[in-house]
Amino acid sequence: MGSAIILGAGIMGLSTAWALARAGWSVAVVEQDAVPNPRGSSVDDHRLIRHAYGAAAGYMRMIDPAYAAWDLLFAEGGERPYVQTGVLALAHAPGGWLAESRAALRGDGHAVTDLAAADIPARYPFLSGDGIADAFHLPSGGVLLARRIVQLLAARLAARGVPIRRGQAVAVDPARGALRLADGTRLEADLLVVAAGPWGPRLLPALAARVRPTRQIIVRLAPPPAHAEAWARAPMLLDLAEDGGFYAVPPVAGTPLKIGDHRFAPHGDPEEAREATAAEAEEILAYARHRIRGLADYRVLSASACYYDVEPQERFVVERLGDRGFVMSGFSGHGFKFGALLGLALARAAGDEHLGAAISAWAAGEAPPPPGLFADLQQETTA
Ligand SMILES: Cc1cc2nc3c(=O)[nH]c(=O)nc-3n(C[C@H](O)[C@H](O)[C@H](O)COP(=O)(O)OP(=O)(O)OC[C@H]3O[C@@H](n4cnc5c(N)ncnc54)[C@H](O)[C@@H]3O)c2cc1C
């Protein structure tokens, strides 16, 4: 195996560095900020993982391998920063994402329990059943404790002697596997992986035509004492309305209750401040007010912005770049859960011309995995 430079120490860059180092590559990571990076897309208390994926069966079928990849990392790191919660999905109208998810899940043999509107407050007294036309519960799925996972990966890299170099790349040359830092240093390797999150389009002009940064707002809440325990045992909540609705992450493992939405902002610059305005926070709270009973009694702990790189169809861009490069981008609002899996897949594809070409359609959710992509994963998890 040769040498590799990974640009970006978010979940994608760190996972890929970890997987390449395990495969015997000599790896170095370049990151402009501290690790974990609170300005990156990957660093927050939680990120959700779930099989429910609407009609996107390709991504639904990536979930089991994604769990296997996390298991591999967690076993190596000696901790398991994951809490299973299950999924509660609600819709204000029949059909749509919820019905597509149910059909795809049942088609693949997942146990989905249909619920009536009246079941919702009966099971979850802190929620209202108003305006629910369709609902289901799925026992699988849960919360990946994102910051802890990023820390765990950084520790694994340190243990393997992989340096994380602080520096800002100002130019990349994937044909030569090279990049130039702001201080003028030129770094070169056999392989360059650009995993720059929402900054990616700045570095790669061709990417800017396909992927753009978006500003997403999240609000952290403390439930009133009467509901705190029930919330801590609650499933993740996906509440789909005509205006898009909202999601809620239960306050597991000492984290706050978090709510957010899935609308993409029309523009976003990842250099902007991460503080959310009062109006931005209120917009998110307004989406949740009809569903979370007595929301006025919940204490707002904080509200902030996070940027991610959105691809119009939310398809991941994992593609060859020049003769010696790969780009990992377009992870939109759903990439974290696949971090370890995509890292392992890229490490496998980097040393194999056929897999290097075939990985893109799979990562875009459009094709089954090319044969051999998970060979390492299958060997290790069945060993
Ligand atoms: C509010 C929110 C909720 C989300 N919810 C979920 C969820 O529930 N489930 C899920 O699976 N996903 C979710 N996501 C999406 C997921 O977090 C992202 O897809 C994922 O974290 C992207 O990781 P990344 O490594 O590509 O980017 P990042 O974490 O942003 O990492 C890129 C790194 O590259 C560095 N960098 C960039 N440019 C340079 C440069 N020129 N020189 C040096 N370093 C550079 C940056 O500093 C950064 O640290 C959510 C995202 C947000 C914002």
In a domain, 68, yes or no: no
Residues 186 and 177 sit within 8 Å (Cβ to Cβ): no
Pairwise CA distance, residues 44 & 71, whole Å: 20
Residue 20: inside a domain: yes
pLDDT at residue 322 greater than cutoff 70:
yes
Number of Cα atoms under 13 Å in the Cβ half of residue 116: 3
For ligand 1, what atom is nearest to the CA of residue 307? Answer: 53
Q: Is the CB of 42 under 6 A from ligand 1?
A: yes
Q: What is the pLDDT of residue 381?
A: 57
User: Distances from the Cα of 274 to the Cαs of 39, 55, 169, 215, 217, in angstroms?
Assistant: 7, 33, 22, 9, 9
Average pLDDT on 150-164 reads 98
Pocket test for ligand 1, best of 11, 14, 18, 42 (most atoms within 8 A of CB): 42
What is the per-residue pLDDT for 79? 97
Would residue 79 count as lying in a domain? no
Exposed, middle or buried: residue 310 (CB in 10 Å: 0-12, 13-18, 19+)? buried
pLDDT score of 214 = 93
Look at residue 80 and tell me if it is in a domain.
no
Ligand 1 atom nearest to 181, measured from its CA? 42
Distances (CA, A) of 52 to 49, 60, 61, 97, 123: 9, 7, 10, 9, 20
Instruction: Look at the block and give the residue holding tokens 């296997």.
Output: 68
* Whether residues 237 and 269 fall in one domain: yes
270: domain CATH number is 3.30.9.10
Q: How many angstroms separate the CA atoms of 81 and 96, rounded?
A: 33
Is residue 187 within 8 Å of 181, Cβ to Cβ? yes
Q: Are residues 292 and 207 in the same domain?
A: no
> Does any domain span residue 229?
yes
**Domain harbouring 182, CATH code:** 3.50.50.60
Question: Residue 228 and residue 116: Cα distance in Å, rounded?
Answer: 24
Percent of the chain with pLDDT over 70: 98
Do 173 and 317 lie in one domain? The reply is yes
- Give the mean pLDDT of 288-300: 96
C-alpha separations of 74 from 12, 149, 247 in Å = 16, 9, 26
Residues near 85 by Cβ (< 8 Å), separated by ≥ 6?
141, 142, 143, 234, 235, 236, 250, 252
Whether residues 233 and 284 share a domain: the answer is yes
Last residue of a domain, one of 284, 310, 336: 310
**Quick one: 133 and 220 in the same domain?**
yes
**Does residue 119 have a pLDDT over 60?**
yes
Q: E strands, 134-245, where?
A: 134-138, 142-145, 164-166, 169-173, 178-181, 186-188, 191-194, 212-222, 236-240
Residue 85, class by beta-carbon neighbours within 10 Å (0-12 exposed, 13-18 middle, 19+ buried)? buried
Q: Kindly indicate the confidence band of residue 379, based on its pLDDT and cuts at 50, 70 and 90.
A: low
Residue 36, ligand 1, Cβ within 6 A: no
Cis bond before residue 370 (omega within 30° of 0): no
Q: Is residue 74 part of a domain?
A: no
pTM, full prediction: 0.97
Tell me: do 252 and 341 sit in the same domain.
Answer: no
- Asked if residue 62 belongs to a domain, the reply is no
Q: How far is the CA of 174 from the centre of ligand 1 (A)?
A: 21
Query: Quick one: 219 and 293 in the same domain?
Result: yes
Which pLDDT score, from 0 to 100, does residue 380 have? 63
Pocket test for ligand 1, best of 41, 193, 284, 314 (most atoms within 8 A of CB): 41
Asked whether the predicted pLDDT for residue 378 surpasses 80, the reply is no
184: left (phi over 0), alpha (psi -120 to 50) or beta: left
- Does residue 66 have its Cβ closer than 6 Å to ligand 1? no
- Cα 104 to averaged position of ligand 1 atoms, centre (Å): 28
Q: How many CB atoms lie within 10 A of CB 301?
A: 12
pLDDT digits (tens, 9 = 90+) for 217-265: 999 999 999 999 999 999 999 999 887 899 999 999 999 999 999 888 7
Mutate to test the pocket of ligand 1, among 168, 318, 336, 341 (most ligand atoms within 8 A of CB): 336
Q: Residue 120 sits in which domain range?
A: 87-139+212-310
- One-letter amino acid at 214 equals T
Answer yes or no: is the C-beta of 257 below 6 A from any ligand 1 atom: no
pLDDT of the residue at 108: 97
- Best probe residue, ligand 1, of 308, 311, 319 (max atoms within 8 Å of C-beta): 308
Conformation bin of residue 283: beta by default, left when phi > 0, alpha when psi is -120 to 50: alpha
Confidence of residue 148 (pLDDT cuts 50, 70, 90): very high
Choosing from 310, 327, 352, the residue where a domain stops is 310
**pLDDT tens, position by position, 36-46:** 999 999 999 99
- Same domain? For 125 and 158 the reply is no
Mean pLDDT of 316-345: 96
Mean pLDDT of the chain: 95
DSSP string, 52-98: --TT-HHHHTTHHHHHHHHHHHHHHHT---EEE--EEEEESSSSHHH
Q: Is 195 in the pocket of ligand 1 (CB under 6 A)?
A: yes
Q: How far is CA 319 from CA 11, 13, 180, 304, 329, in A?
A: 17, 14, 21, 31, 9
Position in ligand 1 atom list of the atom nearest CA 270: 30
What is the structure's pLDDT at 263? 83
Judge if 127 and 266 occupy the same domain. yes
Point out the domain boundary residue: 290, 310, 330.
310
Q: For the chain, how many structural domains are there in total?
A: 2
Q: Tally helices (H) and strands (E) across the chain.
A: 13, 20
Cα 10 to middle of ligand 1, angstroms: 6
Q: Could you tell me if residue 82 is inside a domain?
A: no
Same domain, 274 and 369: no
User: Do 171 and 24 have their domain in common?
Assistant: yes
The Cβ of residue 342 has, within 10 Å, a number of other Cβ atoms equal to 28
> For 58-102, what is each residue's pLDDT tens digit?
999 999 999 999 999 999 999 999 999 999 999 999 999 999 999
Q: Is 365 a pocket residue for ligand 1 (Cβ < 6 Å)?
A: no
> d(Cα 350, Cα 347) in Å, to the nearest integer?
5
Say yes or no: 39 and 164 in one domain. Answer: yes
